[in-house]
Amino acid sequence: MSETSGTSTGSPRLRAELDGVPTYKPGKPAAAGGPVAFKLSSNENPYPPLPGVLESVVAGADTFNRYPDMACTGLMEELAERFGVPVSHLATGTGSVGVAQSLLQATSGPGDEVIYAWRSFEAYPIITQISGATSVQVPLTDGEVHDLDAMAEAITDRTRLIFVCNPNNPTGTAVRRAELERFLDRVPSDVLVVLDEAYKEFVRDPEIPDGIELYRDRPNVAVLRTFSKAYGLAGLRVGFAVAHEPVAAALRKTAVPFGVSQLAQDAAVASLRAEDELLGRVGSLVAERERVRAALVAQGWTVPDTQANFVWLRLGERTADFAAACERHGVVVRPFAGEGVRVTIGEGEANDLFLQAAEGFRKEL
């Protein structure tokens, strides 16, 4: 038998880059059957789908024997109108993580470097490693904010892409216009800067820029947005990028064909049309965020200023104990072992339970 006859006992050869890829840790679900249980672990929107949005999805459900519109025509037109950008500057994907993965596929491979802050969104190291490129992680400042000067200094000839998560997941902190513009001015024009604005709609600080304004005269800036958070469509998987040609064209090339279902496209269009109502809900969540943060500060916690739908507590080695204390109070949070806990702003009742847990924990310190 020849060596290539297929009878060897080894397993198929897989790319070495996959060795040791960290696995994405989804937020733990609320315990079924518990007394009260709220999931504050995945930055989801606690409001159920709007009736009009739900109807549009249900109305389209009787044709899911068909493939969706691959070009997402209706959604692209709606987005172009809403954000004042040409359709040719848009690309959609299976959530903004799907689009981020396409961005890496389009720019980076073995030997290339991808810069991002750390700690930041846990998908970055995963999708970077899968692409074969090397992660260059630049620590957040002591104030838990992107260290843009250090990130600029980390740029080398091999840098292909830089993620700026604004506001940052999991700390909620955001970089302001002047510092971000100064950073963008320092980045070579052949390096793509990706402004990940998954939480844009929750931002209230007027000094925090809208990436879509920054991208307009900067061909090396791409903006990622998602329908998963403010618009409450996390389960349908739809996000998009705004970028100049040829970046947007490369994204459309690398996207999984028919990745965004027709249900997701219809829901996204209906959500843009119901934006006032959805942004009203975002306003309520922002009010809750401010209430929760003020209460935590009053309890004695240090909480970074958050512009997103979550708060961050740097608990260090007490992280796991704190998460367990929250679960005893009926709320599931997102611990990052040895670092801290991210807690999503949810229903008022859930937030109250979390505050009770935090207060009790604080007293025992």
Q: Is 20 exposed, middle or buried (0-12, 13-18, 19+ CB in 10 A)?
A: exposed
From candidates 165, 267, 282, 341, binder to ligand PLP by CB under 6 A: 165
Q: Which is nearer to ligand PLP, 27 or 360 (CB)?
A: 27
Asked if 214 interacts with ligand PLP (CB under 6 A), we say no
CA 336, CA 314: separation in Å to the nearest integer?
9
Asked if 95 interacts with ligand PLP (CB under 6 A), we say yes
Asked if 97 interacts with ligand PLP (CB under 6 A), we say yes
CB of 338 to ligand PLP, least distance (A): 20
From candidates 173, 220, 228, 351, binder to ligand PLP by CB under 6 A: 228
Asked if 172 interacts with ligand PLP (CB under 6 A), we say no
Query: Do the Cβ atoms of 135 and 123 come closer than 8 Å?
Result: no
- All residues at 6 or more sequence positions from 253 whose CB lies less than 8 Å from its CB, including other chains: 106
Q: Taking contact as CB under 6 A, which single stretch among the options 54-62, 141-149, 222-230, 247-255 is the one that binds ligand PLP?
A: 222-230
Number of chain residues interacting with ligand PLP (CB under 6 A): 14
Asked if 198 interacts with ligand PLP (CB under 6 A), we say yes
CB of 94 to ligand PLP, least distance (A): 7
Q: Which is nearer to ligand PLP, 183 or 361 (CB)?
A: 183
For every residue of the chain, which 3-state class applies, written as one string? Answer: CCCCCCCCCCCCCCCHHHCCCCCCCCCCCCCCCCCCCEECCCCCCCCCCCHHHHHHHHHHHHHCCCCCCCCCHHHHHHHHHHHCCCHHHEEEECHHHHHHHHHHHHHCCCCCEEEEEECCCCHHHHHHHHHCCEEEEEECCCCCCCCHHHHHHCCCCCEEEEEEECCCCCCCCCCCHHHHHHHHHHCCCCCEEEEECCCHHHCCCCCCCCHHHHHCCCCCEEEEEECCCCCCCHHHCCEEEECCCCHHHHHHHHCCCCCCCHHHHHHHHHHHHCHHHHHHHHHHHHHHHHHHHHHHHHHCCCCCCCCCCEEEECCHHHHHHHHHHHHHCCEECEEECCCEEEEECCCHHHHHHHHHHHHHHHHHC
CB of 165 to ligand PLP, least distance (A): 5
Q: Which is nearer to ligand PLP, 120 or 329 (CB)?
A: 120
Q: Which is nearer to ligand PLP, 53 or 357 (CB)?
A: 53
From candidates 101, 128, 171, 226, binder to ligand PLP by CB under 6 A: 226
CB of 228 to ligand PLP, least distance (A): 3
Asked if 102 interacts with ligand PLP (CB under 6 A), we say no
Chain positions 18 to 57 lying near ligand PLP, rule: CB under 6 A, are 43
CB of 119 to ligand PLP, least distance (A): 11
Q: Taking contact as CB under 6 A, which single stretch among the options 151-159, 186-194, 227-235, 242-250 is the one that binds ligand PLP?
A: 227-235
Asked if 121 interacts with ligand PLP (CB under 6 A), we say yes
CB of 229 to ligand PLP, least distance (A): 6
Asked if 196 interacts with ligand PLP (CB under 6 A), we say yes
Asked if 209 interacts with ligand PLP (CB under 6 A), we say no
CA 325, CA 330: separation in Å to the nearest integer?
9
x/- track of binding to ligand PLP for residues 235-264 (CB under 6 A) = ----x-------------------------
CB of 121 to ligand PLP, least distance (A): 4
Q: Which amino acid is at 313?
A: L
Which residues form the interface with ligand PLP (CB under 6 A)? 43, 95-97, 121, 165, 169, 196, 198, 226, 228-229, 234, 239
